[in-house]
Amino acid sequence: MTEMLTRPLGGSSIDASAVGLGTWAIGGWMWGGTDESESIAAIQASIDEGISLIDTAPAYGQGRAEEILGAAIRGRRDEVVLATKCGLVWHTTKGNRFFDFDGEPVHRYLGRESIVHEVEESLRRLGTDHIDLYITHWQDPTTPIEETVAALVQLREQGKIRAIGASNVSEQELRSYVATGELDAIQEEYSMIARDIETTLLPIARDAGVSTLSYSSLALGLLSGSMGPDRVFSGDDQRKGNPRFSLGNREKVARLMEAIDPVADAHAATKAQIVIAWTLQQPGITYSLCGARNPKQARENAAAGRLRLSDDDLTLIDAAVALHVNDLDA
């Protein structure tokens, strides 16, 4: 069996599985709740299947995802490249108000004192003494990037973090991070139907030796191959009412999935695995973060890290993407 693909993380000394586990859904918030025991089982199944990179954030359920992840990796910390984030805060009203959680404001703030507070909270919830990759979750226009990076460098010198990342950045923000010489990775949305960063952020990151973690590789499940036109979203599920999940879009995606069936059959793989493998073979994409809420999904995602698509496979898939999903509703 082909080994799980691993890749180096920026300029750090860290190697991580190319397929990573994303835990936004595990936090429950905007995903219609969570099942803690199933979530723990999903995390442990991911590790069993060779996934080392696991990404989380305090904002995923206001600490809930971090707590569940901490419970799941207890006794297995050395098998995990642990990524979490800072910058979405509810302990202070500094910075810019971003959204409300249970009626209370959450702000974007990346001031030094806030980062120092946040890292201690995350370490406590995760049950660890260090975070491998610490990422600014959303950018804070009220704090100079140089100040933010100086705080992160200090945490790295103290051994509390090992590498520095930034997420949801503009081109100018990325250039400012790169100018500090301290950035190891960016984390950005990227999938077959969200490719804007190919011409904006990816060239800058590649030139600077900065890794890219893609999130929403399966487009919140739209590209999973299992979301039919009759799917109904309920509760606080963010996909409810989202134009991207319109009936028309799901019909177009269904035609795309049918078109890539021959590739999936040739590799004895699922369509979701082909989508993840395609993502990992795009220039500049280092890691693909994929959510899993149960062990079956975790094992399916992990297997994609052992797939290697041929040039012919990629040509067929690219043609199908251009034909079927270049004009999805946003």
Catalytic positions: 60
| Contact residues for 103 (Cβ-Cβ < 8 A; gap 6+) | none
What is the Cα–Cα distance from 76 to 52, expressed in whole angstroms? 10
| Among candidate residues 88, 285, 318, the one with its CA nearest the CA of residue 188 | 285
What is the Cα–Cα distance from 88 to 186, expressed in whole angstroms? 17
Burial of 247 (0-12, 13-18, 19+ CB in 10 A): exposed
Tokens read off for 94: 């500094």
Name residue 95's beta-bridge partners. none
Report residue 161 CA to chain centroid gap.
18
101 φ/ψ angles, rounded to the nearest 5 degrees = -120, 120
Asked whether 16 and 53 are in contact (CB, 8 A), the reply is yes
Read off the DSSP letter of residue 51: -
